[in-house]
Amino acid sequence: MITTDICIIGAGPVGLFAVFEAGLLKMRCHLIDYLPQVGGQLSEIYPQKPIYDIPGYPEVKAQELVDNLMEQIKPFKPTFTLGERVDHLAKQSDGSYIITTNDKTQVHAQVIVIAGGLGVFEPRKPALEKLDHFEGKGVTYMVKNPETFRDKKVILAGGGDSALDWTIYLSKVAQRVTLVHRNETFRGAPDSASKVFDLANEGKIDLILSANLKELGGNGHLNTVKLENKSKEEITIDTDYLIPLFGLSPKLGPIADWGLSIDKNAIEVDTRDYSTGVERIYAIGDINTYPGKLKLILCGFHEAAIMMHSAFKYVYPDQKLSFKYTTVNGVNSF
């Protein structure tokens, strides 16, 4: 079990800056994010886009801002659990919480800060009957460990970069790779696309174009995938795995089940300290809502500062908080 003062759910810009504000008050932080990297939507969706409304930066690229935040919080040695989703919160008799992720990682914290942005980036799922029935039994939305597919028959579906890249990679690992794409051409990186066409021409993979997923079959575990091509002909392929790769989309996810007051996919907070209605749980950044809320990174930074000063009383119940400027005291690492 990981033990920390503050557990921050969401490692986007606001979650990262919250570590700095906590650090100034000598509170340690552990961050959990479902994406495999820090930075939230800045790193996942628009790393190379310039941002113009960060005070002091006339222009900064999204990824550069994330890198700078990571540098800024280094003195406070935050720890991270990435690629895992927080599924469950359990209140302890002393008021603290034990947080459990979908991979059964456990974190014990005095305070929880939800800085979850738009929620959890979940894979988009194709509309297929019995899809949920085969999830984890042949249907998977990400390649966590390529060895899972060694000497297996794998169907990938999608036309983006990740579909192309995994087709190329798995062609060396799997017994047989089939890529199903609804169009005749790919819009992904031209290099990867031509590699995929080469592999198909050499007979190393099966490339099925202008076709859509239609039906899944199997008794318990996935055995077959039925496709439909442009002329409405059906093709059934034997397979061990189906990997649909249709990008990610944010969902509020398990946060909705934690007894917090939620309005239109956002958590209602008290603007005095961005606390939720549940003691020791705060919400900052794009995931919260209050009258006058603006979904801006700079507003999230402000919320992080105020919120951490409020959380101090739970981490150090016997101490009096004295407000100090970094210009006076500097940044004292721990």
Partner 1 sequence: MVKFTVEDHDGNRQEIEAPDDMGLSLMEVLKASEYPVLATCGGMALCATCHVEVLEGEDELGDATDTELDQLENLPEYFPTSRLACQIRISPLMEGSVIKLRGEDN
Residue 130 makes contact with partner 1 by CB under 8 A: no
The least distance separating partner 1 from the CB of residue 5, rounded to whole angstroms, comes to 31
Give 3 or 249: the residue with its C-beta nearer to partner 1: 249
The least distance separating partner 1 from the CB of residue 19, rounded to whole angstroms, comes to 24
86 annotated ligand-binding residue: yes
What is the torsion angle, in degrees rounded to the nearest 10, for the CA atoms of residue 64, residue 65, residue 68 and residue 74?
-130
Closest Cα partner for 118 from 307, 288, 281, 323? 288
Residues in the chain: 334
Residue of 74, 108, 125, 214 that binds partner 1 (CB under 8 A): 125
Give 89 or 248: the residue with its C-beta nearer to partner 1: 248
The least distance separating partner 1 from the CB of residue 265, rounded to whole angstroms, comes to 8
Residue type, 251: K
Residue of 39, 116, 218, 250 that binds partner 1 (CB under 8 A): 250
Residue of 75, 160, 253, 254 that binds partner 1 (CB under 8 A): 160
319 annotated ligand-binding residue: no
**Euclidean distance between CA atoms 270 and 276, whole angstroms:** 7
Give 109 or 242: the residue with its C-beta nearer to partner 1: 242
Residue 41 makes contact with partner 1 by CB under 8 A: yes
Phi, psi dihedrals of residue 116, rounded to the nearest 5°: -85, 10
67 annotated ligand-binding residue: no
Go through 76-108 and write b for each residue having 16 or more CB atoms within 10 A of its CB, e for each that does not. bebeebebbbbeebeeeeeebbebbbeeeeebb
C-beta atoms surrounding 157 within 10 Å: 22
Closest Cα partner for 61 from 44, 45, 74, 42? 42
Give 30 or 181: the residue with its C-beta nearer to partner 1: 181
121 annotated ligand-binding residue: yes
Q: Is 71 exposed, middle or buried (0-12, 13-18, 19+ CB in 10 A)?
A: exposed
Taking CB under 8 A as the criterion, which residues in 165-204 touch partner 1? 183, 187
Residue 126 makes contact with partner 1 by CB under 8 A: yes
Residue 141 makes contact with partner 1 by CB under 8 A: no
Residue 259 makes contact with partner 1 by CB under 8 A: no
**Euclidean distance between CA atoms 308 and 312, whole angstroms:** 6
Residue of 23, 158, 285, 300 that binds partner 1 (CB under 8 A): 158
Residue 127 makes contact with partner 1 by CB under 8 A: yes
Contact 238, 175 (CB under 8 A): no
The least distance separating partner 1 from the CB of residue 139, rounded to whole angstroms, comes to 13
**Euclidean distance between CA atoms 38 and 187, whole angstroms:** 27
Structure tokens at 157: 């579906």
C-beta atoms surrounding 9 within 10 Å: 27
The least distance separating partner 1 from the CB of residue 246, rounded to whole angstroms, comes to 5
Residue 254 makes contact with partner 1 by CB under 8 A: no
Residue of 45, 70, 173, 209 that binds partner 1 (CB under 8 A): 45
* Residue ranges that bind partner 1, judged by CB under 8 A: 41, 45-46, 49, 118, 124-127, 158-160, 183, 187, 244, 246-247, 249-250
